[in-house]
Structure 1
């Protein structure tokens, strides 16, 4: 088992770094017409085949509850950014597809947002970035439990 105090210090540092970086790059969404949550939905959807993803996959990539994601997707559908329909392979599920308008809005924001992230992360070397990616993936691979 690792040193408890070191584990707590590392956790607090990771949490604070994530919060500070997240706060800094939040301005990427000012005056874009997309919220950060909407961008996150479109990120998952536009990466899917045919710019489509199951609602449960969208929810899995979000940091908000399933009902909140469903309401967000419904609001995005009302704005014409996505469409939502029943999943023919899962009677209880839904498919979310980016519209041309949604995909275009995503691409416009993604370019500037990607530059902002790359700039912020440029404090780390490529080796450090790979190590950070691998370490955070390792932390995320542990089954959830409560």
Structure 2
């Protein structure tokens, strides 16, 4: 049972910690309070938001790539897309092919070197992206409605600090 919040119902992570305590008495599992909750929340949000995206006829992988291209506002090399999306080169190539087949991206020869490629959004993708993004944002706002605005602001600040400490920095291996 969460000790710092009287009246709060135990959640999945509380049960996991209790199970570990039964198996390995005295094992320090405090990090699980945060890390396991972040992982569990991410899994739940991913599953539910994937359903929202599916209702819009798109997968998470496709949405992520289209969103990146729209946000940067310029054509990108496949390796650059892979790096930004934290996926393999083969994964990026697979997504690009699927999006190209759906006429949502176009792959052009890179005029800088003539060998590489640049990927850009098509007008069709631009027309589809805003309504899809609006449905995702509405869904996400609904998820966060269980938090009061000040708690949501504090959580956003704390998660920003955690992410900033975990993100790779220029020059990191």
**Same fold at TM > 0.5:** yes
Q: Say which structure, 1 or 2, has more relative contact order (CA 8 Å, 6+ apart).
A: 1
Distance 1:127 1:11, change over 3 A: closer
Task: Report SS of the residue matched to 1:80.
Answer: coil
Distance 1:128 1:90, change over 3 A: farther
Query: Larger % of strand: which?
Result: 1
Pairwise CA RMSD: 2.4
Shift of 1:133: 2.1
- List per-residue Cα deviations over 1:35-81 (Å, max 9, x = no partner): 1111111011011234x222222212335422121021012112110
Distance 1:130 1:89, change over 3 A: farther
Q: Equivalent of 1:33, from 52, 57, 78?
A: 57
Separation (CA, whole Å) in 1 of partners of 2:30 and 2:115: 45
TM-score (norm 1): 0.80
Aligned residues: 141
TM-score (norm 2): 0.69
Q: In the alignment, is residue 54 of structure 1 matched against residue 77 of structure 2?
A: yes
- Superposition pairs for residues 62-77 of structure 1, below 5 Å? 62-77=85-100
> Match for residue 134 of structure 1?
161
Determine if contact 1:56/1:93 at 8 Å carries over to the other structure.
Answer: no
Stretches of structure 1 that go unaligned for 5 or more consecutive residues are none
Larger radius of gyration: 2
Distance 1:6 1:90, change over 3 A: farther
Determine if contact 1:87/1:93 at 8 Å carries over to the other structure.
Answer: yes
